[in-house]
Amino acid sequence: MFTGKKIGLVLSGGGIRGMAHIGLLKVLQERGVKAQSVAGASIGALVGALYANGNSIDEMLAFFKETPLFQYSFFAIGKPGLIDTERYFSVFQQFFPHDSFEQLNIPLHVVATDLLQGTEKVFNQGALIMPLLASAALTPVFSPVEIDKVLYADGGIMNNFPKEYVEQGADLVVGSNVSVNGKLQKKDLSNSLQLTSRITGLMIYASCREKICECDILIEPAQLDQIGVLDKKGIEKAFTIGYDAANFAMDAYLDKNKP
């Protein structure tokens, strides 16, 4: 069914919920399916980079389990944001020692937000680590990243589902959207922070909804709403949810497209 077909892979932003992306990758691996191009925003860019780098599923999970989110020595001083994003460079360098898009096994497109111009920026050549840090710089927790005198932040702000960068020439587009926005209870909107988070999430989701629906195979598990965006305790749970959702989506696609 998938032999000889060019597959584009799209991975959205969504914090720790992005471990569901790795669940999808495990299912693709088990079924002998490999993407020929990858595009991602925020956590999707990080997972996509590890996949394009040839890291194993266990190595991908270890990357997120072992990388500290809130480390005292990483607190930002003289920068906007609580955490200095650029302090993670050495951590990333352990996984990407060549620091180069060209050294990856699969073409990768990383989306970030140009805060000065208010536009989307896609990185797909040259240095790799700084664009990854920029794409994952979730505001206001992580500080913007400076590249060539421009400040960049979370790619999900402008394009949380960058499908357009992999669809050209692709026979199939496989997407994973973990920025889900299911129904809430009144108690879930009890303060200004929760309200702001909900409104921002809905706006980001609405801007990408049409592209999400155009995927040939899509996982978008509602159960991920139970996991906090920065809750590292949810890593294994999100991974399992993604794995189960991916198996279901693949089976549904195969049933629908039987010869």
Q: Is the pLDDT assigned to residue 150 strictly greater than 80?
A: yes
Where residue 184 falls among pLDDT bands split at 50, 70, 90?
low
Boundaries of every domain in the chain: 7-254
CATH class of 7-254: alpha beta
Which pLDDT tens digit goes with each residue over 70-122?
A: 665 677 677 877 788 988 999 999 999 999 999 999 999 999 999 999 999 99
Containing 133, the helix (H) or strand (E) segment is: helix 129-135
* pTM of model > 0.85: yes
Cα(40)–Cα(154) distance, rounded to whole angstroms? 11
Which pLDDT tens digit goes with each residue over 15-37?
A: 899 999 999 999 999 999 999 99
Q: Which residues are catalytic?
A: 42, 154
The single-letter code of the amino acid at 223 is Q
Task: Report the SS3 class of residue 26.
Answer: helix
pLDDT of the residue at 2: 82
pLDDT of the residue at 61: 96
pLDDT of the residue at 124: 98
Cα(255)–Cα(259) distance, rounded to whole angstroms? 9
Cα(213)–Cα(226) distance, rounded to whole angstroms? 23
Q: How many CB atoms lie within 10 A of CB 58?
A: 10
